[in-house]
Homo-oligomer: A and B are copies of this chain.
Amino acid sequence: MSELPTRLEVEDLQRNLREVEDLLRRHKLVEGLVERQPMPRHELVEKLVHKQHLTELRAKLEKLHSADIASILEALPTIERLLVWDLVRAEREGEILLEVSDAVRESLIAAMDPKELVAAAETLEADEIADLAPDLPAQVVEDVIRALPQEEREQLRAALSYREGTVGALMDFDQVTVREDATLEAATRTLRGLDELPAHTDQLFVVDREGRFRGTLPLARLIVTDLERAVGEAVAPEVVTLHPDDLAEDAAKTFERYELISAPVVDHFGRLIGRLTVNAVVDHIRKSSAEAQLAESGLREEEDIFAPVLNSFKNRWTWLAINLVTAFIASRVIGAFEDSIEKLVALAALMPIVAGIGGNSGNQTITMIVRALALGQVQVNFLFKLLAKELGVATLNGVVWGTLLGVVAYVLYGNVALGGVLALAMLLTLLLAAAMGVTIPLIRARLGRDPAVGSSVLITACTDSGGFFIFLGLATLFLL
């Protein structure tokens, strides 16, 4: 517990980070090191002139919580990061690797040799090793498996078999179980036999002779119930149970909805095989909301902010390429109207406004629908109502902003018809955006895709090409 800060202060973290940086700089620890990567981190440290000063930095790190060291590592550029990493005690490396982001984890693992990796992994529990495994060399994973005691080896194998995004991949094996035919007295003795209860033990899991799950015994109930009674009499039989194949997202909603701390995970035979805790759920929620945010602007995954340029390029190029294609299509739509633009060059200046507002408005609709879909609020019965409402909003927007823009265009170019065409194009583009904003995510959901991914590119593609086509088409019809 001595690592836990006693006051909440985010400034603490910033201060710790600054202190570490100061120590690095003051002692010129990084001076003279060539910035190349990967470099075995021992070499790095051996090249340092002022070895004696490392003690101070090491003492500082010693006092910090693993999660806080992880934050510091994230915020340091590569060389500084590896230097600090080398000063971390070997027993803590496993824990810290669990806390850092995937990208930073890769950079740390690349600097460790297989023996260190095996040692780091062995300090962890089976479910935690499974979390690290995808980033470890295959040989290291095998060595770790071999070194584990039988029970944990099976747990690790099981944990490795569950797909990412399922309850199985998030659960741990720290459940404390009691037999339903034991007395509460005996159950309490068992608990006292343990050094301390695993974190997040808010309830004990009650099983029968065959290991089948029978219900839970909340600690709070254990404390207030007469100890001579049997566990079976105090059990809370009606609890949410999870299967390892359940989606993590659904489990997270369940935790949120029913305000759970822990929940049993049972297999298809009703046997208790693990538990899911609220802290794993919180991690999942944070991670998936971060991923959604990153995906929206086309980053494949969380990026190490000091990643080499090529890594960043790889993380981002797909989206830019897709965007290039859609922009090119829009460009060809404009190309088809080059004659019209040549005759009335004002069209070139006005057309991006129509497409821009259309894209914006479409993104608003799509954001709302994607959220409603995720919350299970979109019912086929009421689809027409939903579409009608969005078209209504689009009409109102179209009339308000279309009129405004039409007037501005008239003032600028002294051409009433041009103003009228702009206003009408605006209205039609907003209607298109609303219709597409409702249907794109619904069609993607119907096809079994995640409606959130790529919706924004698709709608922008529609409103760009559509907006240019509508505006330039109307102009060609009515103005030339």
Contact = CB atoms under 8 A, between A and B. Distances in A.
A360 B293 contact: no
A233 interface: no
B293 A377 contact: no
Q: How many copies, total?
A: 2
A194 B224 contact: yes
A122 to B, nearest CB: 22
A297 B363 contact: yes
A313 B294 CA distance: 28
Interface string A272-311: 0000001101110110011011101111001101110110
A352 interface: yes
Interface stretch (A136-144, A145-153, A240-248): A240-248
Contacts of A134: none
A476 to B, nearest CB: 14
Contact of A10 (B17, B366, B376, B386): B376
Interface stretch (A38-46, A49-57, A340-348): A340-348
A206 interface: no
Most buried by B among A257, A258, A302, A366: A257
Contact of A348 (B1, B293, B341, B392): B341
Given A285-B285, A385-B77, A355 B352 contact: yes
A351 B246 CA distance: 48
A141 B467 CA distance: 50
Contacts of A361: 316, 320
B379 A353 contact: no
Most buried by B among A18, A75, A196: A75
Interface residues on A, range: 35 or more
Contact of A197 (B9, B224, B319): B224
Interface stretch (A86-94, A154-162, A215-223, A443-451): A215-223
A180 interface: no
A356 B281 contact: no
Nearest to A78: B385
Contacts of A13: 376
A367 B219 contact: no
A173 interface: no
Nearest to A256: B282
Interface stretch (A106-114, A124-132, A328-336): A328-336
Contacts of A305: 368-369, 372, 377-378, 386, 389
A23 interface: no
B364 A323 contact: no
B319 A364 contact: yes
Contacts of A2: 238
Contacts of A271: none
A3 to B, nearest CB: 9
B346 A338 contact: yes
A376 B12 CA distance: 11
Interface in A353-404: 353, 355-357, 360-361, 363-364, 366-369, 371-372, 375-379, 381-382, 385-386, 389, 392-393, 396-397, 400-401, 404
A327 interface: yes
A112 to B, nearest CB: 22
A315 to B, nearest CB: 9
Contact of A220 (B74, B196, B313, B364): B196
Interface string A394-417: 001100110011001000100000
Contacts of A404: 324
Interface string A424-449: 00000000000000000000000000
A67 B412 CA distance: 55
A258 to B, nearest CB: 6
Contact of A261 (B202, B239, B319, B389): B202
Contacts of A323: 356-357, 360
B313 A396 contact: yes
Contact of A256 (B286, B312, B371): B286
A241 B8 contact: yes
A48 interface: no
A259 interface: yes
9 contacts: A67-B257, A197-B223, A293-B293, A312-B389, A316-B397, A324-B357, A331-B349, A334-B348, A335-B349
- Pick the 4 closest A-B CB pairs, nearest first: A197-B220, A348-B348, A309-B392, A75-B377
